[in-house]
Structure 1
């Protein structure tokens, strides 16, 4: 076998291996450590829905999940595991939950990811994956929920719906989002000693009563009586009786 033929065979083998790896990623959550994906400034967890590779022209909904302070890290393979410590979409996908959307879960050294950074992640996903731009959803916990509120206040026109959990939307002007008709469903525990439940109560009340025009559809708020800071586990896994995924996907721009 000539050297050129050997090289061609090696290249063909790599192409076949790469194709098989891409197919295997469907329905699985995959670590994408910092520096391994061109155009992405963070390490992140990637989930592609079943059927993604079988429908090469189809666009899929995108959900971006933002973590809290306890899951902050530099995005390497080891630190990305911190995100899996929470009962949230990436962990549910690892545990076998099938989702009908693309899931991107970035990790940042400081959980208070800035609005411009969130926007860059969404724009990256729109280029890197086959994202339906009319079905982009943002959700987060604690600090990630605070930044979900912050992003929604500015880029409401890019989002089909948001689900902030144990966050605080008091410091931002949500009236433009209310006027745009952005669907919001906030969750909080009444015994949360880390982020006051009024961070969700006041934000939802402002959208529904203070803003003019008022939110339409009305912003939703679910309070868990006696529950502390972790109000997200029971929300994301559905054990509290709520299906936030069907709710989100029921809306599009």
Structure 2
């Protein structure tokens, strides 16, 4: 009963905060059915409050291993949360959960339960839910694309790795954009090259951007690329 009351209170807080300013970043925590606690950021774009009937796209961002832990401060180090901290404004909601386990992979079932809760309690266009992740979060993005093939309108993976057989399980209607640094010593670019080559041979819609002279931190130029966000906004599930 206490958990149910907590969930109801959390939903009320989220909706109340949504009416206070044009855009914001919320620190919150959601306990899922399978007992995984996720702290997360939830960003609302400008204009969210102006038309209560309008629905907005949502971007799910999964961070890398270095940002795991018990402090949301770590999540601000890279990707969209870092850009939001600097003052960048996005045209969609951004959900950025934190993996509490520093040495373990993402629990993608828990992530999906959190995502579904956020979608149901906010004005999200379910045809325009986007997925992105870097490094360990990039691997989790590949996994979620396999586990939930009809969920996402588009996916961008930055220096992630994935088993090659995953290629056969990803929805062919979902556009993908892969980024990788050519000098990556942590996750070799061959991980992305092999997967992209397989996907292209099977007729998938996939773009591949390589960064010469860039190591594992290819997420810096990838997420600084304005074309990425324009590309996301052009995608919609049919």
What TM-score do you get using the length of structure 2 for normalisation?
0.85
Residues in 2 aligned to 1:56 and 1:23: alpha-carbon distance in whole angstroms: 10
Q: Deviations over 1:162-201 (max 9, x none)?
A: 00101012354222325x3210000000100111111111
Determine whether 1:135 maps to 2:122.
no
Residues in 1 aligned to 2:18 and 2:169: alpha-carbon distance in whole angstroms: 40
Determine whether 1:230 maps to 2:214.
no
Determine whether 1:100 maps to 2:84.
no
Please state how far the C-alpha of 1:63 moved relative to its aligned partner. 0.2
Give the aligned partner of residue 61 of structure 1: 57
Determine whether 1:80 maps to 2:72.
yes
Residues in 2 aligned to 1:141 and 1:115: alpha-carbon distance in whole angstroms: 15
**Considering only CA atoms, is the larger Rg found in Structure 1 or Structure 2?**
1
Q: Deviations over 1:202-236 (max 9, x none)?
A: 11111111x3xx21xx3111010110000011111
Determine whether 1:220 maps to 2:220.
no
Please state how far the C-alpha of 1:129 moved relative to its aligned partner. 1.2
Number of equivalenced pairs: 219
Give the aligned partner of residue 192 of structure 2: 200
Q: Which 5+ residue runs of structure 2 have no aligned equivalent?
A: 1-11
Residues in 2 aligned to 1:197 and 1:116: alpha-carbon distance in whole angstroms: 27
Determine whether 1:189 maps to 2:181.
yes
In proportion to residue count, which structure has more strand?
2
Q: Is the contact made by 2:21 and 2:49 (CA closer than 8 Å) also made in structure 1?
A: no
Which of 169-178 and 61-70 deviates more?
A: 169-178
Residues in 1 aligned to 2:110 and 2:30: alpha-carbon distance in whole angstroms: 15
**CA-atom RMSD, angstroms?**
2.1
What TM-score do you get using the length of structure 1 for normalisation?
0.80
Equivalent runs, 1:1-253 vs 2, <5 Å: 19=16, 21-33=17-29, 41-74=37-70, 79-86=71-78, 88-110=79-101, 112-177=105-170, 180-209=172-201, 211=202, 214-215=203-204, 218-238=205-225, 243-253=227-237
Please state how far the C-alpha of 1:128 moved relative to its aligned partner. 1.9
Q: Deviations over 1:133-157 (max 9, x none)?
A: 1000010110000010111122121
Q: Is the contact made by 2:18 and 2:44 (CA closer than 8 Å) also made in structure 1?
A: no
Give the aligned partner of residue 10 of structure 1: none
SS in structure 1 opposite 2:110?
helix
Residues in 2 aligned to 1:57 and 1:252: alpha-carbon distance in whole angstroms: 19
Q: Which 5+ residue runs of structure 1 have no aligned equivalent?
A: 1-14
Please state how far the C-alpha of 1:119 moved relative to its aligned partner. 1.8
